[in-house]
Amino acid sequence: MLVAAAFDFSDFMQQVVSGLASGGIYALLALALVIIHRSTGVINFAQGEMATLSAYIAWTLIVNHGWSYWPAFVVTLALSFAGGIGIHRAVIRPVERGSVLRIVIVTIGLLVAINGFVIWKWGGEPQQLQGPFGTKTYDLGGVVVAAHDIGTIAVALGIVGLLWLFFRFTKVGLALRAAAVNPEEARLVGVRVTWMLALGWGLAATLGAVAGMLTAPTVGLDPQMMQAVLIYAFAAAVLGGIDSPIGAVVGGLLLGVLLNMLSYLSQYGAFDWFTEELRLPAALLIILAVLLVRPTGIFGRPEVKRV
């Protein structure tokens, strides 16, 4: 049963902060999934592997070529952006017409191929990628928080903010939204829709790269690193409403905190059947419960179709 006496507020807050940090990473990857879903209409199964590849590129620049963190960060983002556009031009565009499942299978093919490539190039053993924020901890009114967690939250929210400004206030951002909402009419008013879709893939790859570089320092850089994160991001995106960028961010943060709360409460014996192994299934179950009440996610709007 619940042991209320053992409840410790600062411990609780610590869990919330670290939940927000992992939630920030889920939010970034979920946002990438939402951007691609809005433009291409599919879930990009390769999103996690693309992020892993980016993290390995950053690792190579830092460890093998002796770069310092931030230049490597920027160059990796640029390379990932170009890579995302390249993937769209090379393999997605040729299959864009026709069944959606065909694109899904192509992204599964990409997942397998990129994962194979990473193992082939860098081997399967885990590597160390140092984070830029060190291992310091800060004491904020009795709540001990790790610098890495604060940094992760700041970077995630910063990127989300920049992206919002881009979509809201630039002409290209407007064109991107137009191409996603109504490709035919966007084309009529002079938007180069194909390039906008490619740009969407580039942005998604960039977001993934940030998520990958933020994940590597805590869980260790290995070829399977982003697979669980992708499942969480998928869940977060669906929870928020698959077409809603705000939903993806809120869903990601909520999920991060929720997962940490589940393990936190179980240590107080609240759910003694709850083991670490059931973390993912339990999270998915809660999301399903939410979906049954709101079938298009928290921020999603039901689609109205003309027959």
Binding site for another protein (CB under 8 A): 37, 43, 45, 91, 94-95, 98-99, 101-102, 104-106, 108-121, 123-124, 223, 231, 234-235, 238, 242, 273, 275, 277-278, 280-281, 284-285, 287-288, 291-292, 295-297, 305, 307
- Of 94 and 141, CB closest to another protein: 94
Point out which residues pair with 221 in neighbouring strands: 127
Residue 84, both tokens: 């995302």
- Of 82 and 108, CB closest to another protein: 108
- Of 106 and 159, CB closest to another protein: 106
Measured from the CB of residue 194, what is the shortest distance to another protein in angstroms? 18
- Considering Cα of 266, then 267, then 273, then 277, what sign does the dihedral take? positive
Measured from the CB of residue 98, what is the shortest distance to another protein in angstroms? 5
Measured from the CB of residue 59, what is the shortest distance to another protein in angstroms? 16
Residue 287, both tokens: 């999301």
Q: String of b and e for 4-38 (b: at least 16 CB within 10 Å)? A: eeeeeeeeebbbbbbbbbbbbbbbbbbbbbbbbbb
- Of 139 and 277, CB closest to another protein: 277
Strands (E), the chain: 137-140, 143-146
* Angle subtended by helix axes 69-87 and 47-59, to nearest 10: 140
- Of 108 and 144, CB closest to another protein: 108
Residue type, 298: I
Measured from the CB of residue 101, what is the shortest distance to another protein in angstroms? 5
Measured from the CB of residue 157, what is the shortest distance to another protein in angstroms? 25
Residue type, 284: L
